Amino acid sequence: MVRPTKWRCVSFVPQFNCFIPQGVPSPEQACLSVEEIEAIRLKDVEGLEQEECAQMMKVSRPTFQRVLLNARKKLADALLNGKTIKVEGGNFVLATQQFRCNNDGHEWQIPFERVVSDPPPQFCPVCHSPDIQPLPPFGFGWGARGRRHSRGGRK
């Protein structure tokens, strides 16, 4: 039996999810998952060591290395071959998941550890109304490969 994929903790979701080469009709696409973008951000933009990056994403260092190498390979392919870069899907949860009560407008967050271990909340912690909804991060299109609600799907 295959071991289930471990959810990766992501603390940043890009505001833009599609990059198209200028002046080139590009029917081909390179699709990067949200956790691949997070790996690039942590290692290449923030300049953290791989062990630190892996701890922040709540994965092992070898898993982080695989995610980072896949992301870099896809980026290189897209840049060298004029492909559109899309960011969508993946096996991730946000470092905190935010919820809103439609009854009283109360908003609250649940940390990563509880998001992956506990079922989603059923009631508002203030008014106990069942009329609650998860809030997606601002400005991000989740793509068509949804899995576990709006947290993405694996390619």
Structural domain includes residue 40: yes
pLDDT tens per residue, range 82-129: 999 999 888 777 766 788 899 999 988 887 667 656 777 888 999 999
% of residues, the chain, pLDDT over 70: 82
pTM over 0.85: no
Same domain, 46 and 102: no
Rounded Cα–Cα distance for residues 137 and 14 (Å)? 9
Same domain, 83 and 15: yes
Rounded Cα–Cα distance for residues 19 and 48 (Å)? 25
Contact predicate 25/149, CB 8 Å: no
Other CB atoms within 10 Å distance of the CB of residue 108 = 15
pLDDT tens per residue, range 111-121: 766 765 677 78
CATH number at residue 17: 1.10.10.10
Same domain, 83 and 102: no
pLDDT tens per residue, range 1-28: 887 777 787 887 787 889 998 887 768 9
Same domain, 83 and 127: no
Same domain, 128 and 72: no
Residue 144 to residues 24, 30, 70, 105, 137, Cα–Cα distance (Å)? 25, 15, 21, 29, 16
Residue 131 in this model has a pLDDT that exceeds 80: yes
CATH number at residue 124: 2.20.28
Q: Which residues contact 70 (CB under 8 A, 6 or more apart)?
A: 36
